[in-house]
Chains A and B, each alone.
Chain A
Amino acid sequence: MPQVRIPTVLRRYTDGEAVVSAEGSSVGEVFTSLVEGRPELNEQLFDDGALRGYVNVYVRDEDIRYLDGLETKVEGDDEIAIMPAVAGGSAHA
C-alpha cells in the first residue's frame, strides 16, 4: 500500500504519525483515502479540490506537478511525500 509521508506541521491531524498508509492507485485516490475522517487535513491540503500552492507533493522524489498531478499513478509501497514550501537556505548554513 502506498505510504504517505506527513510533514511535522500536519502530524497533529494524523495522531502524530509521520508515515500513513492509504489505499489508491493514483495520488488523488490515496489522498481521498488519507483525508477521509480527517476534515482538518483536507482543509490544509486542498482548496476547492486543488492542492494548495504552499503544499508540494512528491512521488518517488518527483514533484507531481511535473508528472500527472493528482492523476500520477502509484503502485506497491511507493512513497508519496507531502512537504511545505520553504524559502531557500537552511537554518544553519
Chain B
Amino acid sequence: MRFADITQAVGHTPLVGLPRLSPPGYRLHVKLEGTNPTGSVKDRVAKYLIEQAETYGLLSPGQRVLEPTSGNTGIALAAICRVKCYPLTCVMPENTSEERRQLLTMFGADIVFSPATEGSNGSVRVAREMAAADDSVYMPFQYGNAANALAHFETTAPEILADLPQITAFVAGLGTGGTLTGVGRRLKAWDASIRIYAAEPEYGDLVYGLRNLDEGYIPEVLDVDVLDGRIKVNSLHALEWTRRLADEEGIFAGVSTGASLAVAARVCDRLPEGSDVVALSPDGGWKYLSTGAYAPGDVREIATSISGTLWA
C-alpha cells in the first residue's frame, strides 16, 4: 500500500485469527491496531480530532492544540500535529513512563505534568484550567468529542465488516468509550444481533484516588445503550492473557489486549457455537517493557508489583 504522507497511512490494520487460543467451537480474532503509524489505535482518533476541527473551523493554521492524555493519544496527536504544523501541549500525570516522554519530545510536543496521585482525572483538571485561562488554544478533548467515536464508526468498523461480515461479537477495552461506541453503532446498524462487550480495567486504588466519588466522574463518550455487557478484568488476568497471546499465538501486544481477550473467551459460552468474536488490540507491548509486564518470573508476583502502572 502506498500513501502520500503519514496522515494517510492510518488504519487498514490486520484482523488475525487466534486458532490456538479460541475455545473449542468458537473463533477468536484480534484486530492489531499496533500497526498504525505511531503504534496505537489512537492514530485513528487523533486524525479525526484534528481533521474534524479543521473541517468545522475550530482550528486555524498554527494554532496551539492542548490535550490531557495518559499516553497513546498524546503520541498520535504529536505526530499529526507535527506534520500539520500545529504546536501541541500534552498534560499528563508526572509519573508517565520514560518511553512516552521521549516519543512526545521527539515529535516536538510540550509536556505539562499533573500530580501523579490524581491520575488521568488530574490531567483533565489541569488541561481544563489551562484552556479556560487561554482562549488561543484548541482542546479537542477526546473524552467528550464525538469525533472520537466517529473515527471508529467510519474506519475501524467498516474494516472489520469487510474482513469478517459474519462477526458475532466485538470486544474492546473501556477507556474513553470511543471505540465501543463507534464500532458498536456501526456493527449493530449492519446486524442488530451483533453483541458488543466492554472489557473494563480494574485499576489499583491509586487510580481511583482518595477524593470524593463524584469529583472524578467524567461523562464518557460511551453510549451505554450500545453495550450488551461490561466486564471488569484485573491486572493478573489481563497479564496472563497477554502472555498467552505471545506464547501461543506469537503476538506481542499491550496488556489491555489481554483484558479484551479474557472477556472474548468468557462471553463465548453465551454465544451460539461457531461464533466469530473480534477483540480489538489497541497497541503492541513495546511501550510497556519498562513496566516489567513481560519480564521473566511468576506472573502473579509481576501482576501485583505493577498493577498500578499497567493500564494504558
Q: Which residues of A contact B (CB under 8 A)?
A: 7-10, 44, 52-56, 58, 61-63, 65-66, 81, 83-93
- A90 touches which of B120, B213, B220 (Cβ 8 Å): B120
Q: Which residues of B contact A (CB under 8 A)?
A: 69-71, 93, 95-97, 100, 116-121, 124, 143, 174-177, 198, 200-214, 216-218, 220, 224, 227-233, 288, 291, 308-312
- B213 touches which of A55, A66, A91 (Cβ 8 Å): A55
Whether A90 contacts B217 in the complex (CB less than 8 A), given A8-B205, A8-B210, A63-B231, comes out as no
Given contacts A89-B69, A89-B71, A90-B312, 10 further A-B contacts (CB under 8 A): A52-B214, A62-B230, A66-B228, A86-B119, A87-B143, A90-B310, A91-B116, A91-B206, A92-B95, A93-B288
Task: Assess whether A86 is in contact with B207, with CB atoms less than 8 Å apart.
Answer: yes
A76 vs B111: C-alpha distance in the bound complex, in angstroms? 50
Task: Assess whether B311 is in contact with A89, with CB atoms less than 8 Å apart.
Answer: yes
Whether A84 contacts B70 in the complex (CB less than 8 A), given A62-B231, A63-B230, comes out as no
Task: Assess whether B216 is in contact with A89, with CB atoms less than 8 Å apart.
Answer: no
A85 vs B93: C-alpha distance in the bound complex, in angstroms? 18
What's the nearest-Cβ distance from chain A to residue B56, in Å? 24
Task: Assess whether A89 is in contact with B208, with CB atoms less than 8 Å apart.
Answer: no
Task: Assess whether A85 is in contact with B216, with CB atoms less than 8 Å apart.
Answer: yes
- A87 touches which of B97, B120, B312 (Cβ 8 Å): B120
Task: Assess whether A92 is in contact with B202, with CB atoms less than 8 Å apart.
Answer: no
Q: Which residues of A contact B309 (CB under 8 A)?
A: 90-93
Task: Assess whether B233 is in contact with A61, with CB atoms less than 8 Å apart.
Answer: yes
- A66 touches which of B201, B204, B227, B291 (Cβ 8 Å): B227
Q: Which residues of A contact B213 (CB under 8 A)?
A: 7, 9-10, 44, 52, 54-55, 84
